[in-house]
Amino acid sequence: MVQAYRFALDPNATQEHALRSHCGAARAAYNWAVGWVTASWWQRRAEESYGIGEAGLTQWRPWSLPALRKAFNEAKHTDPRFAAWWEENSKEAYSTGLANASAAFDNYAKSKNGKRRGKRMGAPRFKSKRKARLACRFTTGVIHVDAGGRHVTLPRLGTIRTHEPTVKLLARVQAGTARILSATVRHERGRWFVSFQAEVKRDLEPVARPDVAVGIDLGVKTLAVMADSTGEIRTIANPGHHDRARKQLRRASRVVSRRQGPDRRTGQKPSKRWEKANAARNKVHHRVANLRADALHKLTTAVAAEYGTVVVEDLNVAGMLRNRRLARRIADAGFGEIRRQLTYKTRQRHATRTIAADRWYPSSKTCSGCGAVKAKLPLHVRTYQCDACGLVIDRDDNAALNLAALAAAATTGTGVAGDQDTQSVSKPRGVDQKTRATRPRRKAEAGRAGGATLPHQRQTEARDRTQAEALTLW
C-alpha cells in the first residue's frame, strides 16, 4: 500500500530561503503555463472577431505535462522572468508547477464536458504571490531519511534537520518493507513540513469486534453518539477547541488591530510590533488546529480499530456552513474530516467497510423501536417520542441506533433498529426526498389570489433569473 509519513522540519535561515525559492519557482512555473495556454485562447477569440475562418485560426496549445515541459524548457533560457535565476532551483520545482497546471486544465475540461462530479470548476487562474500556498514536490534525485533519524536529504536543498524523529519510516526503509516514492515540502501553520510518499508492505490489523457494526451520529453539542448493533450507546463530548481559545484570540486580535499593519492601497509596510503581534495571534490559531487534528485522529483510529462496520451520515457540510449561527461550531467539529479519516483507515489498515447513509435517510425522524417516521421533527426537540409505540429516547441516540441498523439493512433489513428481519426497501416506510411546505395554506392561497409575491417567491424568481443570465454568458 501507499502511505504518507509527515515530519516537521527545523531549517536554518539559508535552508528556509532555499525552500521558499523552490516553492516560488513552482508558483512561477504554474503561472507561466496558465498564461502560455490561455494566450492561444484569447488569440483565437480575437481572430474570430476579425472574421478569420477556422482553418486560419491559431492552433490550440496543448496542456499535457510533456507538452508543457517541452515548451517551458525552450522558453526558460530567453524569457526574462526565468533567464536570470532558473538555475538556482531544482528542476523538480518547475515540474511541480507544470504538473499542477496540467491537472487544473484537465479538471476544467472534464467539468465543462460533464465528466467530473462535484461543483463546476472554472478555468485556471494565476496564483498570487501573497496568497499562494508554499509547496514543492520532489520525485527524482537524492530523497532519503538519514541513518541518525533526525535529518532528511532532498535534491538541491541538502540535509535538513527534522523537528521530530523519523524512526517510523527509517525502520521500515532499513528493513526493506518501505520504498520512498516522492517527497513534498509544504509551509503550513507556521512551520515547514516534509511528507514522504512511500510504498509500504504491511499486514492488515484485525479489529477487536469484527462482527459488530456501529452507527455514528455527528453533532455540535455532542461531537458523536455511537450506537453499535448490540445496543450499546457511547457519547463523545465535543472538545470545542476554538470556543476555549476565543477569549485568547479576541485579546490577540485586539493587540494586532492597534498596531500599524500593511496597507496595499498606500504601499504601507507593517511595523515590527505588528508582525510580532500577528505571529502571536497566528500561534493561537495553529494550536487550535493542531489540537483539533489530534483529537479527530484519536477518535477515528479508535473507532476503526474496534468495529467491523462503520456507518456514517452523508452530511451536506458545505450547506450547513452557510448557517451563520452554527457555522463556527460546525467548522470546529470537523464533520467532513471525520468521515474522510474513517474511510481510509477502515479500508487500508483493517480491510473493514464504511457505509455512508443516504443524505435523505430520516435517521432522526425514524423510530428505532417500531420504524414509524415522523413528518416533522424540529431541531430544538432533543427527545424523540414515538406516537405509534410510545418509545421515548434521546434524539441523537435514536439516530445512532438507526444508522447502526443500516449495516444489517444492506442485506436483510430496512434500516430500522427494531425491524432488521424484513425485506430491504430503498425508501423506508415510504419516506421520499421531498420537503413539506411549512408556510400556512391560507397565506399561500391569499398570495396567489391577490397576485402578490411572497418573500420566498421573490427569492426563487431572482435565483432563476441569475442562473439564466449565467447560462447565457457561459
- Give the domain ranges of the chain: 2-11+135-200, 28-112, 212-235+287-430
C-alpha distances (whole Å) from 282 to each of 189, 211, 249 are 8, 45, 9
In this predicted structure, what is the pLDDT of residue 106? Answer: 95
The pLDDT of residue 42 is: 93
Catalytic sites, residue numbers: 217, 313, 396
Q: pLDDT band for position 410 (50/70/90)?
A: low
Q: What percent of the chain has pLDDT over 70?
A: 86
**Residue with the three cell numbers 447560462:** 471
Which amino acid belongs to residue 1?
A: M
C-alpha dihedral (418, 424, 426, 429), degrees to nearest 10: -40
State the cell numbers at 214: 456501529
Angle between helices 272-304 and 246-257 (to 10 degrees): 160
111: cell is 467539468
Give the count of beta carbons closer than 10 Å to the beta carbon of residue 262.
14
DSSP per position, 17-81? HHHHHHHHHHHHHHHHHHHHHHHHHHHHHHHHHTT--GGGSPPPPP-SHHHHHHHHHHHTTT-TT
Closest CA to 334 of 422, 251, 238: 238
Query: Backbone phi, then psi, for 58, in 5-degree steps?
Result: -65, 140
pLDDT band at 241 (very low <50, low <70, confident <90, very high): very high
- The yes-or-no verdict on residue 426 having pLDDT over 60 is no
pLDDT at 456: 47
Q: Report if pTM > 0.75.
A: yes
The residues with which 2 forms a beta bridge, in sequence order, are: 199
Each residue of 107-145: pLDDT tens digit? 999 999 999 988 889 999 999 998 999 999 999 999 999
Using DSSP bridges, classify how beta strands 383-385 and 392-394 pair: parallel, antiparallel or unpaired: antiparallel
